[in-house]
Structure formats: C-alpha cells, structure tokens
Structure 1
Amino acid sequence: MSESVLSSEENLERFRPGEVWTDTAGVPINAHGGGILRHGATYYWFGEHKIAGPWGNEAHVGVRVYASEDLVRWRNQGIALAVSADPASEIASGCILERPKVIHNRHTGLFVMWFHLEPPGAGYTGARSGVAVANAPCGPYRYLGSLRPNAGIWPLNADAMLRQMLSAEEADSLAARRFSGGPEADFPADLIQRRDHEGGQMARDMTLFVDEDDIAYQIYSSEENGTLHISQLTKDYLHHEGRYIRVFPGGFNEAPALMKWSGRYFLFTSGCTGWRPNALRLAVADSIWGPWTDMGNPCVGTPQESATTFQSQPTFILPVNEKSGRFIFMADRWAPKNPIDGRYVWLPVDLSDSRPTVRWHKEWTISAS
C-alpha cells in the first residue's frame, strides 16, 4: 500500500497494546479473534462481538465490523453477520462462532467470510467451517451454510499408508477415546485423519490467506486440534478445491496467522492450552504446500513475555506494506470469565533479522514500526 495513505498527523496516533481501545464514539472496540480486510483506502476489522459474563464465549450477537483509514481510529459499522432468530439455525444465538475472516473476490465482486462454527448445543464437537457472503465490505452478510472440509479427499502429502480407510479394530480404538483438544500421550493423529476422510476433516481455529495470484487458502486446526491443514479454496472462494496438506501432525497448533514476505511463507501459531496463553510458534516454507520448517518462538522479551506471547494469542498478520516489510502482528488477550473485556495486542513484526520477530512495545506508531 502507498505510505501516503497514512498522513503525518495520523502517524502520531499510537498503538497501546493491551489497553482499552475505543472506537470514534468512545465505546470499547468489540471485535475479538478478528481479521482485517483492506478494500480501497479503507481497512475493515471483523471480529466476534462478545457480551459480558462467561456466556459471552458463545455468540449472541454476531460478527461486528469497524472501518478505518489509519488503523488507529475505528468507526463502528454495526453487525456484519447477525446470529439468526431461527432457533433451528446453525448460527442461532448460543452457537460458537469464532475467528471470522473476510476476503474479497475480484472476479465475482463478492466479499466472502469464513469462520469456525459450532452449532448450538454441540460444544466443540461440530468442528465446522461456516461461510457467508455480501455485496459490500460491511455487509449485511448472508449465511450460506457450514461443512467439514475436503470430504472424500486425501491430503496431497499423505503417503499410501495414510490413504486407507480404518480397519474395524482401528475404528473401535478411536471410538473408545475421548480427546481433550490438547496434547496427549500416544495421540493417533494419522488415524483421526483417516477416520474423518468420508465425512470431512475437522476445522476449528482458522484464518484465510490470499496469495499474489489471487488463489485463496483456509488454514485451520484439524484432527482433534492435533494437526494443521492448509486447504485451497475454489476460484469463487466459496468452497474447497480438494487440494490440502497436513502440517506438523500431532504438533497441536491453533490460532494460525500467515504472512508472505520476500517470496517465503511464515506461519504463526500457538499451542493448545485453552484460554491460557502459551509460547508463540513460527514456521517457514518456500511454498505454501511445504515442506514447513519449525523456527521456534519468535517473541523477543523477558522469559515471562516470551512464554506467554505477551499474555496473548495470535489471530491475524496484517500486511501494511509488504514491499518494505511492514506487517502488524494481531493477537487477543482473552478474558474467558468476562469475554467482553478481552484486549487487543497489536505489535510490529520486526524483519531486521534473518526471521520475523515480535517485540513488546508499551506504545508505538506506524511510522516508527
């Protein structure tokens, strides 16, 4: 993007990670687990609208959207996707609707939103991807439905041994287990991928990424959170193309966020520790199809800061100017007992070393990033 979009006056505005961030009306921004779309000269921030109290971890309002030209001052644009008044709907009040991301399809003109969806009453057993569309960035978005991705499709990087249906013994073994969503001894990642072959792969924490050739990808936690999947979307961004890979089987990664710089792909994730923050992870690949190489923890700070990703979890990497290496690391500081009080931790991605790093700044500006 052109640096002229941000005036010198606007550059004086400061980001203050972890502090209460209000919109232009003075109301705290309510867009958790969010992502940002830039369309024209305007940025649109989509996120989960939370309410007070522990029941705020469910969706009772929908996805809210804000607009800004300088990334600091945000105008509330209302609810982009509302929960349904129909109690039989998958997105009725009480569903779990997380990490909404929106991309624009230049060919169809549609704005496409994907998100992690758990229909009401399903807990986290549904593990589905929901999709909605709109004719304008702020919506209103029309819900199209949900699915488990890539039903009947084997991963591109699965060898012959992993392209076989489960035996009766293997199926019985899996049926007898209860999975916690976190690391477990003897975790049967390969069996889970094969178990879900016919019905589609589980999809929880997710993000979207559009490459320079306009091909879009969904990256999501799958296989009981044990393995990441990178899955290509169709040209209209409304379905899965049927090409996907497994990344770090049994590694337990969630909260994916992807960026591309200098021809290489960098994938930020967290571990799976529920609402408790853990150490940030970074992986790199020369192709989005891998192979992916673990680069360790990119956080630079005190031992406590590095071990907890500054008490936050990643949600999105915002490219401000890819050519000059200006990216913003977006993360959430969750408050599960009172979700509406969750805070936002935005920090500049430092590319001065041989790999991206993220350092703590009590306050910072775009011009000094």
Structure 2
Amino acid sequence: MRLLQRILEVGVLTAVVDATLQIVPGGTWTATNTGKHIQAHGGGMIKVGDTYYWVGEDKTDGSAFQNVNCYSSSNLVEWKYEGALLSRQGSGDLGPNRVVERPKVIYNRSTKQYVLWMHIDSSSYGDAKVGVATGSSVCGTYSYKGSFRPLNFESRDMGLFVDDDDKGYLLTEDRKNGLRIDLLSDDYLTVKASTYLWKDSIEAPAMIKKNGVYFMFGSKLTGWDPNDNVYSTATKISGPWSSWKGFADSGSKTYVSQTNYILPIGDNAIYMGDRWVSSNLMRSTYVWLPLQISGTTASMKNAVNWVPNVSSGSPTSGPSEASYEGESAQLSGGAKAVSCSGCSGSNVAGYIGGSTTGSALFASVSSSATTRSTIRIKYRNGDSSQRFADVSVNGGAVQRIAFLPNSGSDPDSSSLHADLKSGTNTVKISMTGSWGPDIDRLMVPSS
C-alpha cells in the first residue's frame, strides 16, 4: 500500500492513497449476516489461524443476561455472527435476571479446550463471582462448569492473560481490596494462587506483553460513566509495577469509552473499548483505536476512522472523504428534505421507507480507485430502537444496515462496507415495511 509522506500526531497513523476498509470508533457497526448492530459488549478477542473471534455480551434487551455472542472476521472490520457460546437458562447462574459480563476466551494447548471466563452476579451485584465454561471449538456451544469467588475474594470486572510460557492469569477487580492478578491452574479452570495486588480502585482490566514489558490497562470506578483510563507496567508479572498513568488525552475520558481488551497487532496494539449508554445498553457502541507501545510507554489518539491493516500490522489513518448531502440526492416515493438543525446543510433526506417506500439515490458518488472500502452514512434516528435501511451500491446486492438511536441534534455514523469502482458510483438507500433513518450525508473515501 502506498503511504503519504505525513504522520498524524505521534506517528501511529499514516494516511493512505487508496481507500480501504475502515473502523469507525463509536459508530453503528452492522454484522454482515444479521443486518443488526453487533452485540459483543465488554468483550474480548482470540485469533485462531487467520481468523479473529470477538466474544462479548448481548445487550439487545437490557442488562440481564441473554447470550454470550461470538463473531468472526479476517480483517477486523467486517464481522459475521457465528452464534451464542452460552444462552439464558431457566434458572441458576445463567437464569433470568442474572448478570453475565466481561466474557473472555483463551485456548489451553494441553487440554485442547477453549476456556471461557466471565463475571457472574445477581442483579444487585452481590454475588461477585467468576464463572467458567469450556468448548471444543472457539465459536461452538460451551459447557458451563459453575461459579466461585477466586481465592474466596470478590470478583466483578475481569479479564484473562496467557503468558509466553502458557501460564494463564485471571485479572480481577476485588472491590474491597483492589485489582488482582491470579495464577490459573494448568487447565485454566480454576485459580491456584495470588500473583499481584494493586490496592488502587481499578476495574475493566486488560493486559498485554510487548518486548518483555507487561502492560495492565484499567478504568477508575465511575459506574457506567467514562473516565480517563490508566495503565501500569512491569518487567515481571509479579511486580514491582509502576504507578498508574493515562494513555489518552487528559480530560477526554478515554474518548468517552472504557477499556475491555487490548489486542496486540504488529509492533503495537489495538485498544478495544465500550462506549456505554446505560439508559439503553443495546445502543452502546465500540471505540477501537490504535495504541502505540514504545518501551514502557503507551499512548493513543482519537480518530474519526482508521484502517487496521491486519496483514502488515501497521494501522493507518482513514482516507480523505467527500461529502454527499442527503437532501441533494434523488428522492423518490415519500422521501423528502426535512429540516435538521444539527445536520450538514441544516437538512436531511427524511421519510425513507414507510408506507410510501421512500428512497434516496446518490447518483454521482466518485471514487479514485476500484477498491472495497467503507462509506460512513451520517444519519439521525430519534427512536429508542434500531432503524434499518437496505443499501445497494452500483445496482448490486442489497445490504441491510443498522442505525442505532441517537440523542441530541448531531448525526451519528453507520458504516457501509462496499465495492467501489474507479469513477462514478451510485448508492441507493431504501426500506420496505418500516421507517429507515433520516440521511444527513454520505462520507465517501476520495483518495
């Protein structure tokens, strides 16, 4: 890939000439085979061969446990729903009105089993336990083994880490005592011993190791509200560990997100965070950003969009974009321009779908290259649930795209991944049977 001769901020992101598939932090992220926003909150990642598997919480119907979901991708951008590892049962830890959070999967090479750990709790968060399940395939059905308090201590937010010597560790927030690292048994099914304890109040733990240095990331305790997340380092997992310090811009509240996992990629890493919406957890989104690691220092800058480049392991900035106004598209059926104070041009293409099957056709969308890329659809949705639209590029197959509810007057982004040809393209947005979103504009890669 040809790189422009410029580096953004600290040099993590470099611009690309050819448009490519992009991650859009905080936007609606539609699964390729469901047409719905991905439900993998508080999740983790495991790579098997050339495929990444994203395991997380299903918050479709609120905070009570529904499913631990699994999605797969080869490029970290386009995600396919594979199924549920665990689902709600009639009673017990996985029963109605129970809490199952922060699911993480690791692979035990000795037993050849995938091992799933999660936070297990009551609706009042009084149980404070971990739960364990096993499976013979990464995205298959898992067998739940039960729950316990590790070493008889409370455990709420948790994570997992496997070291170079295959020793596994539980990262666990013990509200009364602090943040713990506990050594797992050889089969990864229970806890053997305490490895380290921070007496600080830190939750949402996630760990990586780079060039012999351990990095522990975590969040301060502010409930569902974001804060400036922090990290600590050590050259031995048993310590001593450094004091906590921030890795994102001070005061940014980690770009309105909370740590859930750190994914190593190339010489650096990807920060995976949740942007929680406590009043409607289904509409919580994901803030993934490149994380630069240098010696014992971690740093991260915000981005509207960026390219993960899994093959090279070198994240690059998103391409420059051209804007196409919704109200300037060819509107048909019942679709028409509607006033929107916070939108570009102060108008949107409204009444998409509905009884008159309104649609918007963008007939002159330009691309400088023939490539598969990401179009950001800026939209408004004043409902409390997802809206949907059917999108076709150049008359090709229709994709069902989700659009989460948004509050305030500013439009949000939903990602459309599509094949563009060099020159002029068409993008048609329509819906049958229900109302689609109001379309503010398309943001299309132009270089």
Compute the RMSD of aligned alpha carbons: 1.9
**Do the aligned partners of 2:180 and 2:194 also contact (CA within 8 Å) in 1?**
no
Quote the offset at 1:245 in angstroms: 2.3
Matched, 1:319 2:264: yes
Match of 1:294 in 2: 243
Q: Which is higher, the Rg of structure 1 or of structure 2?
A: 2
**Do the aligned partners of 2:274 and 2:284 also contact (CA within 8 Å) in 1?**
yes
- Identify the match of residue 79 of structure 2 among 74, 87, 96: 74
Match of 2:165 in 1: 213
2: CA distance between counterparts of 1:93 and 1:38?
Answer: 31
Q: What does 1:150-229 align with in structure 2 at a 5 Å threshold?
A: 150=151, 200-224=152-176, 226-229=177-180
Matched, 1:340 2:282: yes
Q: What does 1:5-24 align with in structure 2 at a 5 Å threshold?
A: 12-24=20-32
Match of 1:186 in 2: none
- Identify the match of residue 231 of structure 1 among 182, 187, 196: 182
**Do the aligned partners of 2:213 and 2:295 also contact (CA within 8 Å) in 1?**
no
For residue 219 of structure 2, what is the amino acid of its counterpart?
Answer: S
Match of 2:89 in 1: 84
How big is each residue's C-alpha offset from its partner over 1:102-150, in whole Å with a ceiling of 9 and x where there is no partner?
Answer: 001111110000011104x5x1111100000011001201110000011
Matched, 1:309 2:254: yes
**Do the aligned partners of 2:217 and 2:232 also contact (CA within 8 Å) in 1?**
yes
- The runs of 5 or more residues in structure 2 that have no matched partner are 1-15, 316-447
Match of 2:96 in 1: 93
For residue 157 of structure 2, what is the amino acid of its counterpart?
Answer: D
Change (3 A) 1:304 1:131: same
- Length, aligned pairs only: 295
- Identify the match of residue 116 of structure 1 among 106, 112, 119: 119
How big is each residue's C-alpha offset from its partner over 1:164-220, in whole Å with a ceiling of 9 and x where there is no partner?
Answer: xxxxxxxxxxxxxxxxxxxxxxxxxxxxxxxxxxxx001110100001111010001
TM-score normalised by length of structure 1: 0.77
Match of 2:57 in 1: 48
Match of 1:57 in 2: 63
For residue 63 of structure 2, what is the amino acid of its counterpart?
Answer: N
How big is each residue's C-alpha offset from its partner over 1:203-247, in whole Å with a ceiling of 9 and x where there is no partner?
Answer: 1101000011110100010043x5001001011000111243212
Matched, 1:349 2:358: no
For residue 316 of structure 1, what is the amino acid of its counterpart?
Answer: Y
**Do the aligned partners of 2:119 and 2:155 also contact (CA within 8 Å) in 1?**
yes
Matched, 1:130 2:72: no
- The runs of 5 or more residues in structure 1 that have no matched partner are 1-7, 151-199
Match of 1:267 in 2: 216
Aligned residues with identical type, % of pairs: 37
Quote the offset at 1:351 in angstroms: 2.4
Match of 1:285 in 2: 234
- Identify the match of residue 45 of structure 2 among 36, 40, 44: 36
For residue 245 of structure 1, what is the amino acid of its counterpart?
Answer: Y
What's the secondary structure of 1:282's corresponding residue?
strand
2: CA distance between counterparts of 1:354 and 1:268?
Answer: 13
Which has a greater percent of helix?
A: 1
Change (3 A) 1:208 1:147: same
**Do the aligned partners of 2:116 and 2:132 also contact (CA within 8 Å) in 1?**
yes
Quote the offset at 1:271 in angstroms: 0.3
**Do the aligned partners of 1:11 and 1:365 also contact (CA within 8 Å) in 2?**
no
2: CA distance between counterparts of 1:272 and 1:309?
Answer: 14
**Do the aligned partners of 1:131 and 1:143 also contact (CA within 8 Å) in 2?**
yes
**Do the aligned partners of 1:201 and 1:223 also contact (CA within 8 Å) in 2?**
no
Quote the offset at 1:354 in angstroms: 5.5
**Do the aligned partners of 1:37 and 1:43 also contact (CA within 8 Å) in 2?**
yes
**Do the aligned partners of 2:205 and 2:259 also contact (CA within 8 Å) in 1?**
yes
**Do the aligned partners of 2:228 and 2:251 also contact (CA within 8 Å) in 1?**
no
What's the secondary structure of 1:337's corresponding residue?
coil
Runs of 4+ that moved beyond 2 A: 242-245, 351-354
For residue 37 of structure 1, what is the amino acid of its counterpart?
Answer: I
Matched, 1:330 2:333: no
For residue 154 of structure 2, what is the amino acid of its counterpart?
Answer: M
2: CA distance between counterparts of 1:335 and 1:57?
Answer: 11
What's the secondary structure of 1:238's corresponding residue?
coil
Quote the offset at 1:78 in angstroms: 1.3
For residue 57 of structure 1, what is the amino acid of its counterpart?
Answer: S
What's the secondary structure of 1:293's corresponding residue?
coil
Quote the offset at 1:353 in angstroms: 7.2
Change (3 A) 1:366 1:62: same
Which has a greater percent of strand?
A: 2
1: CA distance between counterparts of 2:292 and 2:303?
Answer: 12
